Amino acid sequence: MTTIATTVKPAFFLTNDQKWLVWPLHTEHRVVSWAVIGGGLRETCMLAWHQVKNSDLPLGVDPGTLIQERRHRCIDPHATIFLTSARLDKFTHSDTPLHDDATTNIRVVATVGLSNACHVNSCQTVTLAPLGTINIGVVTNRQLTDAALFEALSITTEARTAAVIAGTQKHRTQLNNATGTGTDCIAIASRVLPKNNPSHAYCGKHTAFGQALGRCVYSTVLQGVEDWLQTQPATSLYNDTGSV
């Protein structure tokens, strides 16, 4: 039986087999996501990432069923769970308080793989895509309305795309027209406060919250992109065929 390793970075931990990256939130959070497990608009106390191999998901295997079968004993039954082939020990993270409100905090965790990278205008339909993907978890202690959660989702998506473009163009690889991967996923979690506490209805890029969110996601994903590129054989990124 797998046991839990010690915390590798504040608030997050890996299981000893490094197949699960777990982020306990400790209190209820309202989350919006399209994750395989726990997607939609709901409440949860945990975000988690599970590592798989392409061979784990042959044609006909349901990803949701696979995760349920492998669910680690430390995973909350209501957790929102990402699926990735990226190395979980290479996750990147950052956090920031708001300049105008030191009591509000935004934390971001990302796992980054680009073997499934493509441009949004030219992704191909495949029966089994490589599972290198970008999975981003965002948690804030500010209570957001559902509309603000969707706005935060939009800003996070934009920041992810900007980071992928910046990171791949910097290294001038065959990925330099990528805007993301074909299987990216994002979860935005906002703390649920006791009744009579106000919910914030706006978090656009002209607000302090939106600006802090964009910076935090951008820096976290950019670091993940650069880390991933450094681990790839040069021939897989710079050859004439553009294979990755």
Q: Is residue 170 part of a domain?
A: yes
Tell me, rounded to whole angstroms, the distance of Cα 59 from its chain centroid: 25
**Residue-number span of the structural domain to which 31 is assigned:** 4-234
Whether the CB-CB separation of 215 and 162 falls below 8 Å is answered with no
- Segment 202-208 mean pLDDT: 94
How far is the C-alpha of 143 from the C-alpha of 200, rounded, in Å?
Answer: 6
Whether the CB-CB separation of 29 and 189 falls below 8 Å is answered with yes
Does the reported pTM lie above 0.85? yes
Q: Is residue 243 part of a domain?
A: no
- Residue 223: left (phi > 0), alpha (psi -120 to 50), or beta? alpha
CATH code for position 30: 3.60.70
Residue type at 86 in one-letter notation: A
Count how many domains the chain has: 1
Q: Which residue has the higher pLDDT, 119 or 146?
A: 146
pLDDT tier at 236, thresholds 50, 70, 90: low
Q: Is residue 126 part of a domain?
A: yes
Q: Is residue 139 part of a domain?
A: yes
Q: Is residue 156 part of a domain?
A: yes
